[in-house]
Amino acid sequence: MEIRENVPLAELTTMRLGGAARYVVSVRTPEEIPEALKFAQERGLATWMMGGGANTIGRDSGFNGVVVLNEIRGIEILREDEESLELRSMGGEVWDDLVEFACERGASGIEAMSMIPGTVGAAPVQNIGAYGQDVAAVIVSAEAYDTREEEFIKLAKEEMRLGYRTTRFNTGEDAGRFWIYAVTLRLKKTQLEPPFYNSLQRYIDEHGVTDFSPMNVRKMVSEIRSEKLPDPKEKASAGSFFKNVMVDPAGADAAEAKGIPVWRDAEGRGKINSGWLIEACGLKGKELFGFRVSEKAALVLINEKAKTYAELAQARKTIVDAVKAKFGFVLEQEPVEIGKEENENS
């Protein structure tokens, strides 16, 4: 294991905020996970597992514990035929690399999730999704180290409680318990059919696209995201900062009656784009306490010059209050905060 001391969280997270982590340990094999835990236990320190830091916010006080970086890599084909492809990817793989790997083999199920930042191991934690696809639809199992029972286990999809950005891995008493080091996905050798999620459908209509193969959908989504979303390597951000608003069928009807665009599933439940709500409040492109509400995608907060978590909290409150006042919806932050309980209890 590689062990470093006093590493700023601002260097590990794409929002580039946060004080120092006491230790940072990089693990490159599953066997090193319990070693990292033992390292922390011997020093009486808390632990936090992290991938690429794209969905994690650091606080000014840092983290008086051990950040474990998942750098376990590798992708293997478990089974492939004319109809399907089953893949096992290690958790430290870059998510977008796995999407490209699948699309190159004509497999559908994750192509609309192209260019979502982060690692494969983090994908089921948030049940990431985009343009109508999500991990819940394709995941078979996750291999993890159970930090409570101190053993390696395999969790079936049914055991993960996968909902919209909520799962067994990030809510309740099991939040942070399972350190995912490998994920198995089952994809189909088919292609998506219209109508698509709103912004993707607009692109298709504008460009007269008729090729909906996995690789071409990937190319379209990548072009849309590149135009709207900043590259975290170039501009500090955490991607989509707020979760979209989920409403039941009645709530979807009420929103549409007010002129709010709603994307519905087969049961009539609705998803409202939080970026649309923020833009409708006149905040798109606005500078708030060192952060910029992206001019291309209002769901994204860009850290232009902020140095403290307090500035982020002020910017967040301004946006949440504006949306609540105008529409009655309370936006929820999507990125998690490292050491949040530690900070709140101190």
DSSP bridge partners of 143: 154, 182
Q: How many CB atoms within 10 Å of residue 105?
A: 15
Question: Among this protein's residues, is 334 annotated catalytic?
Answer: yes
**Structural element, H or E, at residue 196:** none
Residue 32 catalytic? no
284 φ, ψ to 5°? -60, 125
Length of the chain equals 346
Catalytic residue among 240, 279, 316, 337: 240
Give the separation between CA 83 and CA 68, rounded to whole angstroms. Answer: 38
**What is the three-class DSSP state of 127?**
coil
Can 295 be counted among the known catalytic residues?
Answer: no
3-class secondary-structure state, position 289: coil
Backbone angles phi, psi at 98, to 5 degrees: -65, -40
The candidate with the shortest Cα–Cα distance to 39, out of 20, 58, 65, 64, is 65
Q: Which of 248, 267, 106 minimizes the C-alpha distance to 191?
A: 106
Which of the residues 165, 186, 292, 316 is marked catalytic? 165
Sign for the pseudo-dihedral over CA of 97, 103, 109, 115: positive
What the block records as the tokens of 147 is 């930090």
> Which residues are marked as active site?
165, 240, 334
